Structure 1
Amino acid sequence: MSANTTQQVQKSLIHQAWPILIAQWAGMSFAVLDTMMLGNFNAQSLQAMSLAASIFITVNISLTGVIHALIPICSQLFGANKTEEIGVLWGQGIWIALFLSLSFGLLLLFPDIWLSFSGEVSPEVRAEVKNYLLISFFAVPASLMFRAVYSLCTSTSRPKHVMYINVASIFIKAFLNWVLIFGHFGLPALGSTGAAISTMLVSWFTFIFGLWIVFSDDYYQQFKLRLGLPNIKHFIEILKLGLPMGGSYLVEVSAFTFMALLAAREGMHVSGGHQIMANLAALLYMMPQAIGVATAALSAQAIGRRDFPLSYLISKQGLLIGFMGAFISSAVVFFGKPFILFLYTSDAAVAAMAASLLVLMPFFHILDYFQCIITYILRAHKIATIPFVTQTVLLSGLGLGGGYYFGYGPGQGQLAWLSTIVTPGAAIGVSSLWIMCCTALMLCGLILASWYKIVIHRLLNEK
């Protein structure tokens, strides 16, 4: 490939990635706004939101992974110029979103099962968690159906439309949070319950706004978007890729969920400090995820045209751009830690615990970026089972399982020597969780990169 081709690929990736990144940041801002506002409301509501949001995100993001199978599928169809098939599969994606939300969404209605992992949780916090999850149940259908809209826009190189929707939603979410959490305009201060209500309302706004865009913009007319009747054949096509993708999403997010549940064993301030660390990690993750989605979409379009050398070039440039972004993000966290803590909480004990954990953040983020983008590159080739199995074994087994063993189980305290180096002053349990998570991410990235090397070598030789 020539230097001009490489530069063009870089421009295309950045052009595709930056609207996705802003859209992801905008969507992630919901959790940031909730954490910041509740952190300045009271520690009880912050803990309740930390627990409840972790449960909601586990269910919602896992199901989102299933719908996101539309991205590589539709991208390859777009590259092959099979536009009408995209319209058919989009409608089937809407049906799947509805079925998933009304079945697996029921998991939100049983909070006691989830909270059994957290040890002693006060009745007041438990009640807030229950209310939060009940309200969140009604947000899931809108959230998942919007992901079908998101997949359509992203796979057909129109990510700015998603950006517009999500940016608009920030202002609505912030206003509703201000009104409902703190109690304005004569309304009572609802704390974490108010945060849940605002998330539910904004979820329906984003879906309705998304529908309006794809049905009013002439560009999308070429796909002949239609709901149609549920079709088993198309369901199987989407779910064949979507289920392992959803499984990967589940493994990734459940690791954070159970880390939050375990961290609650060490008290309210440790739980709050962990929530800040986890929330910031998720916020930083948006950059590699945006680059990964853009890389996967463009790579899949090249695969649809059977241009494997171009697909390989796109993947390499995606990894390079992703590394640059991860390095810059890590530097911002390292030098801006005092300001970050100021924004997140006014509780000195929570801030001190978060400060100790944030020492590890740059290392965690670099490792997270690499395994994230490699996973998306494999999905562009419709390879999702290998990442799912690898992430299950490493992130759940070694990361979460190892973190429990050294932090709360039979090996409790055995990583204390390392904790004092990488997270000085942090509680041993939560520190062990983050250390083992870093170890798992490193191994996961290496294994998936090796697998991709085998895949692309075979395709390039066939070409």
Structure 2
Amino acid sequence: MNTRAAPNPTLGHYFKETIRQAWPVLVSAWASMAFAVVDTTMAGHSSAADLQAMALSVSIYLTVFVGLMGVVHALIPIIGQHYGARRLESAGKAWGQGVWLALGLSACGAVTLLFPDVWLMFSGDIDPVVMRKISNYLLALIVAMPAALVFRTIYCLGTAASRPKVVMAINLLSIPFKVLFNWVFIFGQFGVPAMGAAGAGLSTAVVSWLMLGMGLWVIKHDTFFKQFQLRLGRIDWAAQKELLRLGLPMGGSYLIEVCAFTFMALMVAREGMFVTGSHQIMANLAALCYMMPMAIGIASASLTAQAIGAEDPARAKLTGQAGFLLVLAGAALTATLLLVFKPQIIALYTSDAQVGALAALLLQILPFFHLCDAMQCINTYLLRAYKVAVIPLIMQVFALTGVGLVGGWVLGFGPAAGALQPVINTLMPGAPTGAATLWLMAGLGLGMSALLLRFWYWRTLAQYQREKSAYL
């Protein structure tokens, strides 16, 4: 049935609609990212060893968690299309199946975190003190993972149904608790021994379960969510298959993106504790900047999925255009701010002069990196609204892994190490060769991924428009 609305809104209308949904997603994402920022800054003021342990631990955990989170995020286009078509009970059932999926994935993720030595084989010799801190940090995050993944199902439900403020509020409320528990566990307060980096992991576990409790309470008592008849129900293997068919390539795309950061951190560890700390600041800041295009991408994807479910191809096209232009403008603004406020930004992250000096050298390339990252992000999310995930995964494997990660290793640490030194001397004079090479090649890989994904989005959109025109 054609459920298109009678009015024909302009592109400006979709700018406003996207912004209206994107800003709570952005605030929520920044609030979530605040956990990593708080951990990095507080561990950085504890000791250089804690900062290195934090850099390596977070890289390992994010590789696992973000990949699994990507699988759970298959709920966004699925629930979004159900919601757009007003299949509310089906949307509620999909959420329940997503909870089962999250629980199963958390068990798989826990196993991978039990063996940090496997991950750290790429890092060369690590100080035994740092190794012990890493193991303790990851053990605490095993406890956090089930709560964090199930909470993502609530995030998916709210986002797909254009109610992102629920998760935003919970994330904002969680920040003071995170700071408090970090203070207690990292530095040792109220008789609790100082745990350093491991204390940050313990505080994340405590806060993650608090957040899940708040999220479940809200969706049970909020009148808006009652219309979905939310319930866990039994495992529906057909529904699980649908989630995995879309979620596995989505999770693979998330994994490819985060693996670049993970293995970059593991390889940069060869250049020493101070370079590792500066790389962690760069990676943390890049991830923080990524929240803007990600928020607009998620908002655009959910609104586009709703338009697809409502069989409104014109709205789907305009929503995608609005999201792309907003990300382009936001990325340009972010790049400018990075250039203007670089000294102040570094001062927030560390009080170690050597780490700060190295970070300043690496940050010279961050504006270019962010522009490429933002463009590939929005195109990926728009394709997911059409339930297209396999081809983007293949493109990202080639561009991000082949060009970015493998190319960065070959030219930075491998047989052609130092080949990009003239380029580095021009773009980042004085920067450590290995780390600078990795960041440069990662940026080039992201740029290539953005171009390939944009081409495939145009192809997918044109095919969808033709199909709907023929049907109507």
Opposite residue 187 of structure 1, the aligned amino acid is V
Looking at structure 2, the residues matched to 22 and 449 of structure 1 have their Cα atoms a distance apart, in angstroms, of: 26
Asked if 1:266 corresponds to 2:234, the answer is no
- The Cα of 1:432 is off from its aligned counterpart by 0.6
Opposite residue 234 of structure 2, the aligned amino acid is L
Opposite residue 221 of structure 1, the aligned amino acid is K
Looking at structure 1, the residues matched to 387 and 9 of structure 2 have their Cα atoms a distance apart, in angstroms, of: 29
Q: Deviations over 1:124-172 (max 9, x none)?
A: 0011001111111111100100010000000001000010010001111
Question: Which stretch shifts more, 157-166 or 102-111?
Answer: 102-111
1:90 aligned to which of 86, 89, 95: 95
Map 1:374-389; keep pairs closer than 5 Å: 374-389=379-394
Q: Which residue of 1 aligns with 2:262?
A: 257
Looking at structure 1, the residues matched to 366 and 238 of structure 2 have their Cα atoms a distance apart, in angstroms, of: 44
Q: Which residue of 2 aligns with 1:28?
A: 33
2:143 aligned to which of 138, 143, 148: 138
- The Cα of 1:4 is off from its aligned counterpart by 4.7
Asked if 1:183 corresponds to 2:188, the answer is yes
2:410 aligned to which of 402, 405, 413: 405
3-state SS in 2 of match to 1:360: helix
2:441 aligned to which of 411, 432, 436: 436
Q: Which residue of 1 aligns with 2:213?
A: 208
Looking at structure 1, the residues matched to 164 and 31 of structure 2 have their Cα atoms a distance apart, in angstroms, of: 13
Opposite residue 390 of structure 1, the aligned amino acid is M
1:231 aligned to which of 210, 227, 236: 236
Looking at structure 2, the residues matched to 294 and 197 of structure 1 have their Cα atoms a distance apart, in angstroms, of: 32
Opposite residue 427 of structure 1, the aligned amino acid is P
Opposite residue 459 of structure 1, the aligned amino acid is Y
- The Cα of 1:412 is off from its aligned counterpart by 0.2
Q: Which residue of 1 aligns with 2:421?
A: 416
Looking at structure 2, the residues matched to 220 and 131 of structure 1 have their Cα atoms a distance apart, in angstroms, of: 38
Map 1:76-155; keep pairs closer than 5 Å: 76-155=81-160
Q: Which residue of 1 aligns with 2:3?
A: none
Opposite residue 376 of structure 1, the aligned amino acid is Y
Opposite residue 423 of structure 1, the aligned amino acid is M
Looking at structure 2, the residues matched to 34 and 423 of structure 1 have their Cα atoms a distance apart, in angstroms, of: 27
- Shift of the 78–2 alpha-carbon distance from structure 1 to 2, 3 Å rule, reads closer
Opposite residue 52 of structure 1, the aligned amino acid is S
Q: Which residue of 1 aligns with 2:248?
A: 243
Q: Number of residues paired by the alignment?
A: 463
Opposite residue 287 of structure 1, the aligned amino acid is M
- Shift of the 328–3 alpha-carbon distance from structure 1 to 2, 3 Å rule, reads farther
Asked if 1:395 corresponds to 2:400, the answer is yes
Looking at structure 2, the residues matched to 397 and 46 of structure 1 have their Cα atoms a distance apart, in angstroms, of: 29
Q: Which residue of 2 aligns with 1:66?
A: 71
Asked if 1:350 corresponds to 2:350, the answer is no
Q: Which residue of 2 aligns with 1:174?
A: 179
Q: Deviations over 1:187-215 (max 9, x none)?
A: 22111011000011111111111111111
Looking at structure 2, the residues matched to 353 and 324 of structure 1 have their Cα atoms a distance apart, in angstroms, of: 29
Looking at structure 2, the residues matched to 86 and 71 of structure 1 have their Cα atoms a distance apart, in angstroms, of: 10
Q: Which residue of 1 aligns with 2:343?
A: 338
3-state SS in 2 of match to 1:425: coil
Looking at structure 2, the residues matched to 210 and 323 of structure 1 have their Cα atoms a distance apart, in angstroms, of: 33
Opposite residue 378 of structure 1, the aligned amino acid is L
- The Cα of 1:104 is off from its aligned counterpart by 3.0
* Structure 1 stretches lacking a partner, 5+ long: none
3-state SS in 2 of match to 1:138: helix
Opposite residue 175 of structure 1, the aligned amino acid is L
3-state SS in 2 of match to 1:252: helix
Asked if 1:283 corresponds to 2:267, the answer is no
CA contact (8 A) 2:65 2:109 kept: no
Opposite residue 251 of structure 1, the aligned amino acid is I
CA contact (8 A) 2:113 2:142 kept: yes
CA contact (8 A) 2:73 2:247 kept: yes
Looking at structure 2, the residues matched to 104 and 392 of structure 1 have their Cα atoms a distance apart, in angstroms, of: 21
Looking at structure 1, the residues matched to 124 and 158 of structure 2 have their Cα atoms a distance apart, in angstroms, of: 43
Question: Which stretch shifts more, 201-210 or 371-380?
Answer: 201-210
Looking at structure 2, the residues matched to 103 and 40 of structure 1 have their Cα atoms a distance apart, in angstroms, of: 34
3-state SS in 2 of match to 1:228: coil
Looking at structure 2, the residues matched to 3 and 150 of structure 1 have their Cα atoms a distance apart, in angstroms, of: 30
Q: Deviations over 1:207-256 (max 9, x none)?
A: 11111111110111110001001110000011110000000011000110
Percent identity, please: 50
Opposite residue 63 of structure 1, the aligned amino acid is L
Q: Deviations over 1:6-63 (max 9, x none)?
A: 2221111000000000000000000000111111110000000100111011101100
Looking at structure 1, the residues matched to 403 and 174 of structure 2 have their Cα atoms a distance apart, in angstroms, of: 38
Q: Which residue of 2 aligns with 1:293?
A: 298
The TM-score with structure 1 as length reference comes to 0.99
Q: Which residue of 1 aligns with 2:169?
A: 164
2:461 aligned to which of 453, 456, 460: 456
Q: Which residue of 1 aligns with 2:20?
A: 15
Looking at structure 2, the residues matched to 42 and 330 of structure 1 have their Cα atoms a distance apart, in angstroms, of: 30
Opposite residue 14 of structure 1, the aligned amino acid is I
Looking at structure 1, the residues matched to 258 and 352 of structure 2 have their Cα atoms a distance apart, in angstroms, of: 27
Q: Which residue of 2 aligns with 1:37?
A: 42
- The Cα of 1:3 is off from its aligned counterpart by 8.8
Looking at structure 1, the residues matched to 464 and 33 of structure 2 have their Cα atoms a distance apart, in angstroms, of: 36
Instruction: Note the aligned Cα RMSD (angstroms).
Output: 1.1
